[in-house]
């Protein structure tokens, strides 16, 4: 029989060495995870969160034009228009849809689409460059702008599986929605180790939003009904009640993000005002790109300059055309009656104060373009940074 003599000093040294190794490995693990969970393939997911008529269609197209982005416009539209219940009852369904789409699982859409759907069944599918380009479709755009008519003829019969396969080839998945009215339902997505989610919260002067909504009120009636919880509201009061709910949702989201936010939100949320983008488009958009890990390109700079400095008229309710962004952001001052401006200010006073929008005290003041109603924002640009 073998007899092993154990030296106590050797045992003690080995135990110390093992303990030190465990500590070093644990510290190494913490360092690797100090900036939040990383998905296995380093794909970045971006949720462009906004409200109706706040410039989100344009902002979505800014990301859509980037060749590294797989973009879908308003997938949550399918939930609202299929289930059609009060907004609070649709939060979980929308969260689950976003979770699947961020992982390039488009089968989730089959719940809300006809049997064996093509990509043409997706809301505003032609607005996605990725769905009009290889490998989702054999049609190849010949310039920075997708020819939507040619795309519809060549790509409309492609199935969702091909679009799903294409999604996996992009480094960024960007989804735009105006139908998330609070932040809490997104917490599981932010904490999911398989996602690397960034939230961009786009806001706009409520008076400009109201003025734009008046021009497209017929297109928003169904959404208004859902926002108000399907409550009956006098017709003349309806637009103001809706604006009140929209403004309250912005306040809820921003207060949750900046007042005692959960630790996992650090570095994941950024708020931006449409008016700041209109005044300094390249600077603001480049900041957003840096936030989500995208690089600005000369082609994108040219596209942004063209789209924000043009003189074209608006084409339809949800299309993007070349226009002067600064003039558009100030249009409410000359077109919205002063009594309506006062009413919007009453129902959105808290949001306007929080976001840095100065109130109007008279009609003369409203139309005096020498007065700037955009105040410096006191909100941090990026949660968790100085």
- Per-residue pLDDT at 38: 41
- What the block records as the tokens of 50 is 């906004």
CA distance 172 to 265: 19
Closest to 274 measured CA to CA, from 45, 44, 51, 46:
51
What is the CATH superfamily name and number for domain 44-104+168-367? P-loop containing nucleotide triphosphate hydrolases (3.40.50.300)
- Per-residue pLDDT at 380: 52
Q: Which whole-number Å values give the CA distances from 383 to 4, 37, 164, 224, 230, in the listed order?
A: 60, 17, 32, 31, 35
- Per-residue pLDDT at 324: 61
Give the number of other CB atoms < 10 A from CB of residue 71. 24
CA distance 121 to 2: 77
Residue pair 179/224 in contact (Cβ under 8 Å)? The answer is: no
Burial of 300 (0-12, 13-18, 19+ CB in 10 A): buried
- Per-residue pLDDT at 32: 36
- Per-residue pLDDT at 145: 64
Cα-based angle 164, 166, 172 (whole degrees, multiple of 5): 95
- Per-residue pLDDT at 369: 86
- Per-residue pLDDT at 310: 63
Q: Which whole-number Å values give the CA distances from 74 to 80, 209, 351, 366, in the listed order?
A: 10, 18, 24, 34
Closest to 53 measured CA to CA, from 186, 254, 207, 180:
207
- Per-residue pLDDT at 148: 81
Can you give 118-170 as a three-state secondary structure string? EHHHCCCHHHCCHHHCCCCCCCCCCCCCCCHHHHHHHHCCCEHHHHHHHHCCC
Provide the 3-class DSSP secondary structure of residue 67: coil
Residue pair 350/268 in contact (Cβ under 8 Å)? The answer is: no
Low-confidence ranges of the chain (pLDDT < 50): 1-6, 8, 11-17, 19-40, 312-322, 381-382, 384-386
Q: Find the Cα–Cα–Cα–Cα dihedral 57, 61, 62, 64, rounded to 10°.
A: 140
Residue pair 228/245 in contact (Cβ under 8 Å)? The answer is: yes
pLDDT in tens, 312-334: 444 444 444 445 666 777 889 99
Closest to 345 measured CA to CA, from 203, 207, 204:
207
- What the block records as the tokens of 104 is 């390039």
**What's the number of CA atoms in the CB half-sphere (13 Å) around residue 73?**
26
Residue pair 198/46 in contact (Cβ under 8 Å)? The answer is: yes
Residue pair 253/265 in contact (Cβ under 8 Å)? The answer is: no
- Per-residue pLDDT at 294: 97
Residue pair 269/186 in contact (Cβ under 8 Å)? The answer is: no
The CA-based diameter of the chain, rounded to the nearest angstrom, is: 105
CA distance 104 to 197: 14
pTM: 0.84
- Per-residue pLDDT at 218: 76
- Per-residue pLDDT at 193: 94
Q: Tell me the H-state helices in the chain.
A: 8-32, 56-64, 77-83, 91-102, 148-155, 160-167, 187-191, 206-214, 221-227, 238-258, 274-279, 281-292, 298-308, 325-329, 332-335, 338-347, 349-355, 363-367
- Per-residue pLDDT at 313: 44
Provide the 3-class DSSP secondary structure of residue 21: helix
The domain locations on the chain are 44-104+168-367
- Per-residue pLDDT at 24: 39
- Per-residue pLDDT at 152: 87
Closest to 166 measured CA to CA, from 80, 104, 95:
104
């Amino acid at each position: 029989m073998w007899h092993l003599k154990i030296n106590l000093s050797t045992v003690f040294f080995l135990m110390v060495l093992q303990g030190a190794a465990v500590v070093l490995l644990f510290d190494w693990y913490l360092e690797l995870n100090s900036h939040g969970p990383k998905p296995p393939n380093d794909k970045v997911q971006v949720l462009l969160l906004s409200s109706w008529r706040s410039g989100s269609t344009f902002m979505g197209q800014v990301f859509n034009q980037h060749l590294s982005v797989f973009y879908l416009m308003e997938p949550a539209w399918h939930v609202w228009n299929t289930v059609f219940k009060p907004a609070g009852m649709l939060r979980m369904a929308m969260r689950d849809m976003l979770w699947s789409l961020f992982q390039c699982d488009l089968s989730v859409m089959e719940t809300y689409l006809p049997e064996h759907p093509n990509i043409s069944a997706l809301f505003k599918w032609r607005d996605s460059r990725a769905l009009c380009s290889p490998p989702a479709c054999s049609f190849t755009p010949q310039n920075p702008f997708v020819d939507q008519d040619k795309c519809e003829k060549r790509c409309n019969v492609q199935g969702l599986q091909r679009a799903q396969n294409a999604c996996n080839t992009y480094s960024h998945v960007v989804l735009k929605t105006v139908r998330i009215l609070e932040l809490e339902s997104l917490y599981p997505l932010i904490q999911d180790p398989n996602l690397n989610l960034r939230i961009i919260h786009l806001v706009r002067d409520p008076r400009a939003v109201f003025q734009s909504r008046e021009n497209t009120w017929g297109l928003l009636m169904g959404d208004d009904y859902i926002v108000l919880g399907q409550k009956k509201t006098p017709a003349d009061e309806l637009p103001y009640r809706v604006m009140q709910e929209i403004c309250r949702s912005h306040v809820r989201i921003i207060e949750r993000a900046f007042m005692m936010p959960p630790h996992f939100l650090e570095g994941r949320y950024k708020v931006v005002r449409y008016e700041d983008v209109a005044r300094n488009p390249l600077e603001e958009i480049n900041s957003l790109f840096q936030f989500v890990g995208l690089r600005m390109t000369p082609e994108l700079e040219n596209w942004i300059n063209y789209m924000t400095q043009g003189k074209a008229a608006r084409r339809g309710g949800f299309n993007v055309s070349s226009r002067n962004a600064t003039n558009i952001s100030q249009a409410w001052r000359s077109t919205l009656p002063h009594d309506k401006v006062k009413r919007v200010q009453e129902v959105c006073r808290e949001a306007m104060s929080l976001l840095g929008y100065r109130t109007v005290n008279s009609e003369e003041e409203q139309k005096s373009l020498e007065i700037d109603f955009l105040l410096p924002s006191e909100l941090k640009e990026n949660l968790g940074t100085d």
